[in-house]
Chain A
Amino acid sequence: MLSNLTSRLTFLFSGGTSLISLGWVDSLIIIIYFLFVLGIGYYLMRFTKTGEDFFMAGRDMTMWIAGLSFVAANLGSLELMGWAASAYQYGILATHWYWIGAIPAMLFLGIIMMPFYYISKTHSVPGYLKLRFGEGASMLSAVSFGFMTVFMSGINMYSMAIVMKVVLGWDIHFSIWVSAITVMIYVVLGGLLAAIFNEVLQFMLIWLGALVIPIIGLIEAGGWNNMVARIQHNFAGGDYTHLWRTLGSFQDNPMGIHWTGIVFGLGLIISFAYWTTDFLVVQRVITAKDLRSAKMAPIIGAGFKMLVPFIVILPGLLGLAVMPGLVGEKEAIATGGHSYNEVLPLMLARYAGPGLLGLGVTALIAGFMSGMAGNVSAFATVWTYDIYKPVHLRVKKNEGTDAHYVKIGRWCTVLGVFVSIGTAYLVQQFASIMDYVQALFSFFVAPLFGTVILGMLWKRCTKAGGFWGLFAGIGSSIAMWAWVKIDPSAIKIIALSEYAKDMAENMYRALWSWIICVIVTVVVSYATKPKPDSELVGLVKGCTEIPSEGHLPIFKRPIFWAAIVFAVFLALNIIFW
C-alpha cells in the first residue's frame, strides 16, 4: 500500500528527463523528512507565544544546539552544490572558504565580539548598531541586510530547483514552490525555534547523507594519494590539490587569485564580515542561554566547519579523479553534456543504492531548507524589529504590543518567502551563482564589519562616523562593481592584475570597501563629538565589564577550546599546503 503510494508520488513528481529515477524507498525517505520538519514546526508552535520566543527562540539554547545551528544555517545550497562545483572547477583552493575563510573569524566572534552582542541583549546586528550609532546606521544596515537575505534565499531556492531538475527531473518551478511553502509553514508556526531545531536535524541528515560520497569515492579512487595521481593524469599541467603552493601568482592557479587576495580579502575581511556581522548566523548564537554558551557556540561551530570540506570539497576532487569531462553550464547546454555544477548529484547517483539515494537527496533538500529558513527567520526579525518597529513608533506614536510584533513577524516570514521566490527567478540570469553571492557580500557585509568592529572596540567612534563610514563603504563597493562591469579592463586596478578572475575581483573589492569604510569612519569620528562613556556601557570594549572565567576549570573555558580549534586549523593548512 505504502509502496504503491510512494511509487505514484515518484511518478507524479518525476515528470520529464532526469539523471536518475528514485525508487519507492528513496521517495519514502524524502516524504518522511518533509513530514518530520512540518511536524516539528507544528509541535513547537505551542512554545512560540511571545516576541522573545518567535524571534529569539526564548534565548534558551544550549551551546551545542546554538553551535550546530550556527553552522547549519550556513550549510545551505551554496555549501553543498556550489562548493562541490567550485572544487571541480578550482580544485582544493575552494577549501580556503572553509578554513582561512571561516575559522579565525568564528573564533574571533566567540572570544572577542560575542560578549558585546550578548551583554547588550540586542535582538539583531542592526539592533546593536541602533544602540551604538543610532537609527541611521541601523536602518541602512537593516535595509541592506534585507536585500541580501532575500537574494540569498532566492539563490538557495534556485540551487535546490537545479538539483531536483537534474536528479529527479522535477520541474524547476514546482521545486521552488514546494520547498518555499514547506519552510514558510514551519517558520510561521514555530519561529526561530522551529528554524533552529530543524537546522540541527538537517545538520545531522546532511552529514549522514553526504558522507556516502567521500567514503565510497575514496574506496573507488584507491585512497587520497591515488586520487591525486588520477587528477594529475586527467588534468596534466594543472595543480588542483595544493592549498597554498600555487598562490604565488595569479596565473599559476585555476582560480586566478594571489595569496594576498585569499589572506587579506577573504581571510581578514570577507570571512570576518560574514561570520561576525551577518545576522543570519549571529542570530543563532545570541539565542544561547548564557554568555559562556554564546561564546562556546561559534567555537563548536568552527570545529564542525573545519570538517565540512570532507563532504563538500572532497566530492568535487573525487569528481575530477573519477568523472573527468564535466564542463561549464553554457557548454553543457550547448553540447548536451553535464555541467560541473551537477557534480554532487552525479556523484550521488554514481554511488548511492536504494535508500541511500533518498538519504543523499534528503541531505541536499535539508541543506537548501536550512539555508532558506535561516534567511527567512533572520529577515523576519530584522524587518519587524529594525525596520517596521521604528516606523510604527514614528507613525502611531506608541510602542506596539508584543503580540502585534509576533503577528507582523509571521507576516514578514510569508512576505520574505514570496520575495525570495521572485528572486530565485532573477538569479537564473547570472552565469555563476558563487560569484554573484561574493559580489553581494562585498556590497554590504564587508563595510558593515568595519562599522561594527570599530563600534565595539573603539569608544571614540561616533554616531556620524558609523553612519557615513558604512554609507561610503557600501557606495564605493557598488561603484567598483559597476566600474568593472562597464569597463572590464578596470579589473587590473581593482584586483591588481589583468589576469585576476571574478573571485579575485570580489576579494579585493571587499578589502577596498572595508578600508574606505574604516577611513571615513575614523575621519568623521574625529570631526564629531563622541558619546560619553556612561552611554557606551555594555556596547564597547573599555566601557563594559566582561564576566571573568578565571574560576572555571581550564577545559570549560572558551579560550581553551578556541586554542585547540586554531591549532587544528593550522595543522590542516600545513598538511594540505
Chain B
Amino acid sequence: MVGNKGISIWFFIGTLLLIYGVVITAANIYELAAPSMDRVVVLKEINFGIWWGILLVIIGLIYFVSFRPWKKKQ
C-alpha cells in the first residue's frame, strides 16, 4: 500500500466488488422471480445482471483473498 504499511488498495477494490457482486446478483435473481421493475430494459430476457453480478463476485473474491491484510507474509 504505502510502502509496506497498511492495507492494499487492491483489498479495498476486492471488498467493494464483492459487495457489489452479491447485491447485483441477488437483486437480479429476485427480479427474475418476482418482476417489479417499472421501466423497459432492452434484452431483459438474457438476464445479464445475474451474469455480471457473478463476474463481480469472482473478481472481487480474487482480490479480496489475494490482498487480505491478515494474510501471512512469506
Contact = CB atoms under 8 A, between A and B. Distances in A.
Contacts of B56: 208
Interface in A23-47: 23, 25, 28-29, 32-33, 36, 40, 43-44, 46-47
A359 B24 contact: yes
A28 B27 CA distance: 11
Contacts of B39: 20-21, 349
A354 B16 contact: no
A219 B41 CA distance: 14
Nearest to A349: B39
Given A47-B6, A353-B28, A355-B49, A201 B16 contact: yes
A216 interface: yes
Q: What interface size band does chain A fall in?
A: 35 or more
Contacts of B48: 212, 215-216, 351, 353, 356
15 contacts: A28-B23, A29-B20, A29-B24, A33-B16, A57-B2, A60-B3, A197-B9, A204-B13, A205-B16, A351-B41, A351-B43, A353-B48, A354-B49, A359-B20, A359-B24
Contacts of B43: 216, 219-220, 351
B27 A25 contact: yes
A193 interface: yes
A201 B24 contact: no
A356 B49 contact: yes
A200 interface: yes
A355 B41 contact: no
B28 to A, nearest CB: 6
Contact of B52 (A32, A212, A219): A212
Query: Which 9 A-B pairs give the minimum distances between C-beta atoms?
Result: A355-B24, A25-B27, A353-B49, A354-B27, A355-B27, A47-B2, A197-B9, A356-B49, A353-B41
Interface of B: 2-3, 5-7, 9, 12-13, 16-17, 19-20, 23-24, 27-28, 30-31, 37-39, 41-44, 46, 48-49, 52-53, 56, 59
Given A60-B3, A204-B17, 14 more contacts: A47-B2, A47-B5, A193-B2, A197-B12, A201-B12, A201-B13, A208-B52, A212-B48, A351-B42, A351-B43, A354-B27, A355-B49, A356-B48, A359-B20
A58 interface: yes
B47 to A, nearest CB: 8
Contacts of B2: 44, 47, 57-58, 60, 193
A350 interface: yes
Interface of A: 20-21, 23, 25, 28-29, 32-33, 36, 40, 43-44, 46-47, 57-58, 60, 65, 193, 197, 200-201, 204-205, 208, 212, 215-216, 219-220, 349-356, 359
Contacts of B23: 25, 28-29, 355
Nearest to A64: B10
Contacts of A65: 9
A200 B9 contact: yes
